[in-house]
Amino acid sequence: MHVAILGATGYSGNVLYNLLSQHPNVETINLYGHEGGKSSRFLDNEVPAFFSAHIAILPFDPKEIMANNDLLFCATPAGITKDLMEPFISADFPVIDLSGDFRLTDPATYEKWYHKEAAPVDLLEKAVYGLAEFPEEKAGKYIANPGCYATATLLGLAPLVIKHMIQKDSIIVDAKSGVSGSGRKLSSSSQYNFINENVWLYKMNKHQHIPEIMQKLNEWDSHIPAIQFSTTLIPVTRGIMATIYLKPLKKYTNEQLLECFHQFYDDAPFIRFRENDLPTIKEVTGSNFCDIGINYNPITNTITIVSVIDNLMKGAAGQAIQNFNILCSLEPTSGLPQLPVFP
């Protein structure tokens, strides 16, 4: 297959290019910038790690992209694809979009949380939310790849929410992320002097992944009113740990809780359910795995779920490849590493 990447120079785009370069079903990769006109950009000039990849980054041209490729990946910041994707959606051309522009179905919700004008409703209706382990019934060729915090949180919550085993107003999520989650753009919070030996709680109850999480939770259970959600930056390069606290609907045994997760995830190639062993970020770094462990405290009647992912893999490029495999009816694990990078 011939595939295109729009936005290969960001962290998610870097990892996406790396994975596609090793995918057995990908023959060529064409790179594009989102600017028009002529371009003299090359991948190795902008990403020194790809020193041997002297590949031109071509100017954006929808007709040229669709004529020379079978599928387009978008790895751009939020606010870009909403203005560029109409030709592809109108032509029913396959797109996997890693940005947040097409994840939310309600334009007003997007504008509230992203502080940008939303895509037109008729285009949003064509997008399919691509949480790979829980595909939507609606079919479509425009896949809105989930956000990193949303992926870790939703995969941790899904079994108990779908089975209606929790008190609906009891969900508290304490999510921590590595610095690469904020992208390559320079900011004061990503400077070494700030984040080294430091922990920073940011966007308290204001993170843009909150409505995305609620949108999916309400598909599973429309009576969940809200979640308490905090995001914390920690001094690691990559990885997310979502620690989730909730109250069960009634008293359950540990075995009943374990069985619920086993029912959903025993056949999921990228979910490793660790039962009562609580996972660490290091155990999934460089992989597309989501490791999940649980603990039940009968004294406080509280269930704790720990869900860890690599934010650039399962939280971005890895899940995009997983969705690519699903969309193109390929082996689910094609092009994805089967072991984490350890140590």
DSSP string, 108-144: HHHHHHH-SPPPPHHHHTTEEE--TTS--SS--SEEE
Q: Starting at the edge strand that comes first in sequence, how are the strands of the sheet with 228-233 ordered?
A: 200-202, 228-233, 172-177, 240-246, 302-309, 290-297, 271-273
If DSSP codes are grouped into helix, strand and coil, which group holds residue 32? Answer: strand
Asked if 73 and 220 sit in the same domain, the reply is: no
Q: Do 214 and 297 fall within a single domain?
A: yes
Amino acid 282: pLDDT: 97
Shared domain for 7 and 128, answered yes or no, is yes
Give yes or no: residues 231 and 200 share one domain.
Answer: yes
Number of structural domains found in the chain = 2
What is the CATH classification number for the domain harbouring 62?
A: 3.40.50.720
Has residue 255 been placed in a domain? yes
Residue 257 belongs to a domain: yes
Omega before 343 within 30 of 0, i.e. cis: yes
- For the chain, 343 residues long, give each residue's pLDDT as a single digit of tens: 999 999 999 999 999 999 999 999 999 999 999 876 566 789 988 888 888 888 899 999 999 999 999 999 999 999 999 999 999 999 999 999 999 999 999 999 999 999 999 999 999 999 999 999 999 888 899 999 999 999 999 999 999 999 999 999 999 999 999 998 877 777 788 889 899 999 999 999 999 999 999 999 999 999 999 999 999 999 999 999 999 999 999 999 999 999 999 999 999 999 999 999 999 999 999 999 999 999 999 999 999 999 999 999 999 999 999 999 999 999 999 999 989 998 8
Give yes or no: residues 162 and 293 share one domain.
yes
- 125 touches 102 (CB < 8 A): no
CATH number at 183 reads 3.30.360.10
Token code pair at residue 226: 């809200």
Please state, as a whole number, how many other Cβ atoms lie within 10 Å of the Cβ of residue 298.
Answer: 11
Which one is catalytic: 148, 260, 290, 328? 148
The verdict on whether 328 is a catalytic residue reads: no
Same domain, yes or no: 113 and 226: no
Report if residue 256 sits inside a domain: yes
In a domain, 342, yes or no: no
Contact between residue 66 and residue 90 where contact means Cβ atoms under 8 Å apart: no
Residue 151's nearest CA partner among 168, 169, 131, 170 is 131
Residues 74 and 218 in one domain: no
Whether residues 116 and 214 fall in one domain: no
Contact 311, 179 (CB under 8 A): no
Contact (Cβ atoms closer than 8 angstroms) between residue 209 and residue 238? no
Phi and psi torsions of 216, nearest 5° = -75, -40
Give the Å distances, CA to CA, from 158 to 13, 79, 215, 263, 324. 28, 29, 13, 11, 22
340 occurs within a structural domain? no
If asked whether residues 168 and 299 sit together in one domain, one would say: yes
**Is residue 279 domain-resident?**
yes
* Same domain (yes/no): 141, 166: no
pLDDT at 35: 72
> Are residue 277 and residue 320 in the same domain, yes or no?
no
Q: Provide the domain limits for residue 85.
A: 2-146+314-327
What pLDDT is recorded for position 138?
Answer: 87
Q: Which residue in the block uniquely carries the two structure tokens 């950009």?
A: 41
Same domain assignment for residues 18 and 142: yes
Residue 268 lies in a domain: yes
Whole-angstrom Cα distance, residue 301 to residue 299? 5
Instruction: Indicate the Cα dihedral angle 293, 295, 296, 300, nearest 10°.
Output: -130
- Asked if residue 103 lies in contact with residue 209, where contact means CB atoms within 8 angstroms, the answer is no
Q: Are 176 and 308 in contact (CB under 8 A)?
A: no
Specify if 174 maps to a domain: yes
Q: Model-level pTM? A: 0.96
